[in-house]
Amino acid sequence: MKYKLKYLPAFLAYCVISMSIFAEASIALYDSMTADQQSSDSKATVYIFTAPDCPIANRFSPYIRSLESEYSSKGIRFFLVYSNPKITEQKVNIHRKDYHLDIPAILDVDRDFARTAGASVTPECVVYVPSNNGQSRLVYRGRISNLYEDFGKWRHAHTEENLKSILDQILKGVAVPFSSTKAIGCYIF
């Protein structure tokens, strides 16, 4: 079944509803989208695809925590997305605890959301903003930063903070066109 990006706003609303239902665990299961628009109190929504067994994704954990801490108070929502048919709530909870990731999580066991968003590796992020027609619009897909330039080649510090740059543009009210970068990480199968 082919999914269309026009249904993504419904997924965002589903996440907000699900977060209240699953508040204790802060984990929601990805399901077909049932609502029609993105939460209006969010300036943007960031989905970070991650995996407990990906060392590259795990190395980004402190930086992800920092970004979420800095931007969530400014109206940016963050979700971790676990796209793996073998992932369980228990594995997600252990991973989030081990890496101090107090960010709502989405289990994408069928990898439908990964396909819809175009994510292929962990860590990889996608950013959506609300648009005038009530639908969300994808403005970024790709790496969080350039900490990794290739497999086995990493820097000691970020020199290009791609996600941070996109979020800063959104908060300044700049019309952000779609852009993408190549994310380096563990493949989502």
Task: Tell me the pLDDT of the chain averaged across its residues.
Answer: 81
> What is the total count of domains within the chain?
1
Question: Residues 73-125: pLDDT tens digits?
Answer: 999 999 999 999 999 999 999 999 999 999 999 999 999 999 989 999 999 99
What 8-state DSSP symbol labels residue 5? G
- DSSP assignments along 113-172, one per residue: HHHHHT--EESEEEEEEE-TTSSEEEEEEE-S-SSEEETTEE-SS-S--HHHHHHHHHHT
Owning domain of residue 24: 5-187
Mean pLDDT (whole number) for 5-12 = 48
pLDDT confidence tier of residue 41, bands split at 50, 70 and 90: low
Q: If residue 56 lies in a helix (H) or strand (E), which one and from where to where? A: helix 55-59
CATH number for the domain harbouring residue 85:
3.40.30.10
Given a cut of 50, is residue 19 above it in pLDDT? no
Residue 26 predicted with pLDDT over 80: no
- What phi-psi label fits residue 182: left (phi over 0), alpha (psi between -120 and 50 degrees) or beta? beta
The confidence score (pLDDT) of residue 35 equals 23
pLDDT tens by residue, 67-82: 999 999 999 999 999 9
Give the phi and the psi of residue 88 in degrees, each rounded to 5. -125, 165
Q: Is the pLDDT of residue 2 over 60?
A: no
CB atoms within 10 A of CB 102: 11
